[in-house]
Amino acid sequence: MENLFKLPMPANETEIRILQLTDIHLFADKKKTLLGINTADSYSAVLEAIATQKQRFDLIITTGDLAQEPAITSYQYFARGMAELLPTPCVWLPGNHDDQRIMADMLFDEGITATKQVIIGDNWQILLLDSQVSEQPYGHLSDHQLLWMEQCLQMFPRHYTLIALHHPPLACGCRWLDQNNLRNASMLAEIVLRYPRVTTLLCGHIHQEIDLDWCGKRLLATPSTCIQFKPDHATFTLDNVAPGWRCINLQPDGTVKTQVQRLANGLFYPDISANGY
């Protein structure tokens, strides 16, 4: 089994507060841009906006593509950003742009846990599934990942469960993106349908906000901290909405309250004429 990370419930609190950041796409050189947006600057602006709000978070979940250029320096920039939100612990997943070996070593050295199972109090567990396929944009969950997930669900049968993964298991309505979602979503569905206390799935990858029903479970995806993809387009199309993040409140009765927040419009504009990256 993967290392298990237990967090106590904060004193005098009933809900668990989670911050999700995703698709940060950092470069080794902070001056580099992705389709017109300096990703280091947009990441810093998001962190500054979050810090200004002075919200309490119990956990930060980062759901992949932390780097566009998967170099040691890229992950150091990510870790330094996370240090601004201390003492909140952070857990992470690799995306299709990440180099998991570099990522794991670098983040471990920076004190960011590699755990993929988090137990918070007596009501909730969070499982992080690795859907990365080496050198491919689409996602797939290995037999090992699926077996491990079911073992975790059996280990804590009374806990409600939030499952995080990079690739969504459901088409989002963009044909060019949907070909690169989770390829074996039916295998995931077969398992989670057996566990009513799996309530919610949390994804990145698609650089846009969704809140949909998938097999009776709530499926959430979250805007990138840099570029956004325009919803409901057949071909690659950028959106000019602002970078964002997601706040999630897990309730003791298994319900989930969540809200996407964004930077003010006009701070970061992508190159709308771009036709790919």
Per-residue pLDDT at 42: 98
Give the number of other CB atoms < 10 A from CB of residue 76.
16
Pairing of strands 124-129, 16-21: unpaired
The pair of three-digit structure tokens given for residue 33, joined into one six-digit string: 């841009």
Residue 254 zone, left/alpha/beta (φ > 0; ψ -120 to 50; rest): left
- Could you tell me if 23 and 95 are in contact, meaning their C-beta atoms sit under 8 angstroms apart? yes
How confident is the prediction along the chain (277 residues), in pLDDT tens digits per residue? 457 899 988 877 889 999 999 999 999 999 999 999 999 999 999 999 999 999 999 999 999 999 999 999 999 999 999 999 989 999 999 999 999 999 999 999 998 989 999 999 999 999 999 999 999 999 999 999 999 999 999 999 999 999 999 999 999 999 999 999 999 999 999 999 999 999 999 999 999 999 999 999 999 999 999 999 999 999 999 999 999 999 999 999 999 999 999 999 888 999 999 888 8
DSSP-assigned states of every residue in 83-117: HTTTTS-EEE---TT--HHHHHHHHHHTT----SE
Please give the full DSSP string across 36-49, using - where no structure is assigned: TEEHHHHHHHHHHH
- Judge contact between 85 and 50, C-beta under 8 A: yes
Pairing mode, strands 160-165 and 198-203: parallel
Q: What distances in angstroms separate CA 200 from CA 148, 221, 247, one per listed residue?
A: 18, 11, 14
